[in-house]
Amino acid sequence: MQSANILIIVACLVGAVRAASDNSTVGVEAPTIVSIVFKYDPNKAAAIAAGVLYSVASLCLFTRLFMNKAWWGLHLPIASTLMSVGLFMRIPMATNPNSLSIFLVQAFFTLLPPAAYLAFNYILYRRFFVNCVDRRYSWIKPEKAIRCIVISDIATASIQGAGGGLEASTNTTSAKLGADIVLVGLILQTVSFAFFMILVVHVWHGINRDGLLFRKEPWRKILWILMFSSTAYMIRYIYRVIEFGQGNDGYLIT
């Protein structure tokens, strides 16, 4: 999944560099890489605040995992740490908007961690059935369900990567086709994750149906975590679909 996301990031960077170079003859007012990709100037105060919040979250997660020796979840605080670094990199990027090296670092560090967050939910879902409840509560065998979702994520991310490559083209028709392909990939990815949410809701319904004392079970928080975080991910997916659907001049992206 991460390799496919790298393709998307590289495609965006290529498109930004091409656009910046195409406009370099305009003069001192030529748009920068940052202005072309972001459509706004990064705010230093916001970058510091967000970076600090992610750093605090990373510290809490590292502490919790080491105390419980839960090494299987180590990629979660590592991803949060990378995200905080990426956000802090927006501080020098604000004063060096044409620095490709700074832009590339912040892009990789902010766009890749979400893949690890999703992976954590998938692993948590599988371990929930291994350690907490009977496997019969899963609509589909946990291993098979997660395998299908991961394959779907890789496929849809690859579609987005292919579309991103076309979108970076200087040909208007190819660029428009690329944007449409990226949008299709995003929609399919959203549908794929919606299937995962259905699996989680099915587990929730089955446990309640069998009359388990939900509030007294030590594992009840796991389902709350899965429901809450999955809902947050879905909001993000829907936002991105609308954002890409509106185009580069749309309300959300500007």
pLDDT, one tens digit per residue, over 4-60 is 455 555 555 555 555 444 444 444 467 777 777 777 778 889 999 999 999 999 999
User: Roughly how many angstroms between the first and final C-alpha of the chain, as a whole number?
Assistant: 28
Which residue, chain included where needed, has tokens 């670092």?
105
What is each CA distance from 166 to 36, 39, 117, 169, 245, in whole angstroms? Answer: 17, 20, 28, 5, 16
**Which residue is listed with tokens 């406009």?**
23
Query: Model-level pTM?
Result: 0.73
Please report, as a single letter, which amino acid is at residue 92. Answer: P
Neighbours of 205 (CB within 10 A): 12
Give the percent of the chain with pLDDT over 70.
82
Q: How far apart are CA 124 and CA 93, in angstroms?
A: 36
Structure-model confidence comparison of residues 114 and 88, the more confident one: 88
CB 243 within 8 A of CB 253: yes
pLDDT at residue number 20 = 47
What pLDDT is attached to residue 178? 77
Q: Which residue has the higher pLDDT, 62 or 11?
A: 62
